[in-house]
């Protein structure tokens, strides 16, 4: 997500917050996720941000509206963008969603899709093991492939032609997911959709950054695990500089 924003909006300063001490969120209760989300929003507001992106599908699923209600600035969330992308992509009206258990249980993607087109069929599958496998760096490991096959089997049985990657970790598994889903399934990674939506909001509100030599990227995390540097750089496609650990 952050990488897509950097590539689409090269002049915008970006503050990234990763709650590395308390992830994964996808197996936590709604009340806990809402509490964590509000703490993160409080932290970001201290930095006088002009727009907020909810890049975590789980937070977007259960707390996006509460965040919007308390903020007087634009908020773009990954689920809304993903739903719009999926509706635009599908040819037969059957959309599959793979996501964390909390995101699936919230039914947020189905609601988002049906708000755009009530005739669409949405089939969701919780995939609790995929985030730990990505964190482990097992992107093309036999165990990961077997796990993906198990998770995709019931979704593919519904003859979906579009598969939404409903977690920001899943794009790192895109080559494996594409192989296992087959050539007739289109994968929807909402990162690009979010970046385009952010660009449009900045333009419409006339708050886009002017052309400049370089943008400022700052990264805040709540813990720096052993493999965080390599995992983060794999996500971003660049080195992590200006990285700081904070406590909420």
Give the pLDDT of residue 226.
66
Q: CA 134 → CA 98, 155, 212, distances in Å?
A: 14, 21, 35
Q: Annotated catalytic, 127?
A: no
pLDDT of residue 241: 81
Residue tagged active-site, from 56, 97, 188, 198: 56
Degrees, nearest 5: CA angle 143-192-215:
110
Beta strands of the chain (E only): which ranges? 14-18, 52-54, 75-77, 94-99, 121-126, 162-166, 186-188, 217-221, 243-245
Q: Which residue has the higher pLDDT, 72 or 137?
A: 72
Q: How far is CA 5 from the centre of its chain?
A: 12
Local confidence band at 237 (pLDDT 50, 70, 90 cut-offs): confident
CATH of domain 79-189: 3.40.50.1860
Say which residue, 229 or 194, is predicted with more confidence: 194
Does position 223 have pLDDT exceeding 70, yes or no?
yes
The predicted pLDDT at position 155 comes to 98
Categorize the per-residue pLDDT at 203 as very low, low, confident or very high, splitting at 50, 70 and 90.
very high
Name the token pair of 53. Answer: 């992106």
Q: What is the pLDDT confidence band of residue 242, given thresholds at 50, 70 and 90? A: confident
* Stretch 81-93: mean pLDDT: 95
What is the SS3 assignment for 33?
helix
pLDDT in tens, 147-186: 999 999 999 999 999 999 999 889 889 999 999 999 999 9
Residue with tokens 């993903």: 82
The 3-state secondary structure of 69-115 reads: HHCCCCEEEHHHHHHHHHHHHCCCCEEEEEECHHHHHHCHHHHHHHH
The first and second tokens of residue 204, run together, are 């419409």
Q: What is the pLDDT of residue 158?
A: 97
Tokens representing residue 180 in the block = 């296992």
Report the SS3 class of residue 52. strand
pTM of the predicted protein model: 0.84
d(CA 201, CA 69): 18
Q: Which fold has domain 2-77+192-245?
A: Rossmann fold (3.40.50)
Q: Examine residue 44 and say whether the peptide bond preceding it is cis (omega within 30 degrees of 0).
A: no
- Contacts of 153 by beta carbon, 8 Å cutoff, 6+ apart: none
| Mean of the per-residue pLDDT values of the chain | 92
Instruction: Give me the residue spans of the domains in the chain.
Output: 2-77+192-245, 79-189
Same fold, 2-77+192-245 and 79-189: yes
pLDDT at 236 (0 to 100): 77
Residue among 37, 120, 134, 167 flagged as catalytic: 167
For 10-57, what is each residue's pLDDT tens digit?
999 999 999 989 988 888 899 999 999 999 999 999 999 999 999 998
Give me the phi and psi of 146, to 5 degrees please: -65, -40
């Amino acid at each position: 997500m952050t990488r897509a924003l950097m590539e689409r909006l090269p002049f915008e300063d970006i503050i990234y917050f990763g709650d590395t001490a308390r992830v994964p969120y996808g197996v936590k209760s709604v009340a806990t996720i809402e509490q964590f989300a509000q703490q993160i929003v409080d932290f970001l507001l201290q930095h006088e941000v002009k727009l907020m992106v909810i890049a975590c599908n789980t937070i977007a699923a259960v707390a996006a509206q509460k965040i919007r209600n308390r903020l007087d600035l634009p908020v773009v969330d990954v689920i809304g963008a993903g739903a719009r992308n999926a509706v635009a992509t599908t040819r037969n009206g059957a959309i599959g969603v793979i996501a964390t258990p909390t995101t699936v249980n919230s039914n947020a993607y189905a609601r988002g899709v049906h708000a755009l087109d009530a005739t669409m069929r949405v089939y969701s599958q919780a995939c609790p093991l995929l985030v730990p496998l990505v964190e482990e760096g097992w992107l093309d490991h036999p165990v990961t492939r077997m796990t993906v096959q198990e998770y995709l089997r019931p979704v593919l049985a519904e003859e979906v032609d579009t598969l939404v990657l409903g977690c920001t970790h899943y794009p790192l598994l895109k080559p494996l997911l594409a192989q296992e889903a087959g050539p007739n399934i289109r994968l929807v990674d909402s990162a690009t959709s979010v970046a385009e939506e952010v660009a449009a909001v900045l333009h419409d509100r006339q708050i886009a950054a002017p052309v400049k030599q370089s943008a400022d990227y700052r990264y805040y995390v709540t813990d720096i695990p052993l493999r965080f540097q390599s995992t983060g750089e794999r996500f971003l496609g660049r080195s992590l500089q200006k990285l700081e650990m904070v406590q909420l």
